[in-house]
Amino acid sequence: MNIAIVFSEFNEEVTSRMLDVAKEKAKLLKLKISHTCMVPGAYDMPIIVDSLLSRKEVDAVVTLGAIIKGQTKHDEVISHAAAQALTDLSLKYKKPVSLGISGPGMQERHAYARIRPVAERAVEAVVKISQELKRIQK
């Protein structure tokens, strides 16, 4: 299975570690990472994910990001917009797109605590969804 990974530059201390964990998990699951793309933030992911999903060699996309709460509700706006756009793209292309974006409403310490579980589950999710799609399309 060929996957692409899109990760956020915003909160890079967290997301770069998420990327490392996702790569480890992909290797363990014998997945090929065909593309690794960095975008400024979670809100910026959909256009890159759209382009990747349109490629024949990409079977699924893993997204990685950390949306940390600030003094406003901006984190909620960003996370809801990103989640909806990524869901729409998954449905448009009939290919799995995982939501490996932690937040909203979390503080920085929570983001660090979620690095491994969120990144691993994001990779596992695209595999499981892909397997289920193959099973029901037979």
**Which of 35, 74, 80, 110 is an active site residue?**
74
State both tokens at 78: 């960003």
Find out whether 6 and 37 touch, Cβ atoms under 8 Å. Answer: yes
83 by DSSP, 3-state: which? Answer: helix
- The DSSP H or E segment spanning 74 is helix 74-93
What are the distances in angstroms from CA 27 to CA 38, 60, 138? 20, 15, 27
**What's the whole-model pTM score?**
0.95
| CA pseudo-torsion sign 81, 84, 85, 86 | positive
Digit-by-digit pLDDT tens for the chain (138 residues) are 999 999 999 999 999 999 999 999 999 999 999 999 999 999 999 999 999 999 999 999 999 999 999 888 889 999 999 999 999 999 999 999 999 999 998 999 999 999 999 999 999 999 999 999 999 987
Catalytic, 35? Answer: no
C-beta separation of 36 from 72 below 8 A: no
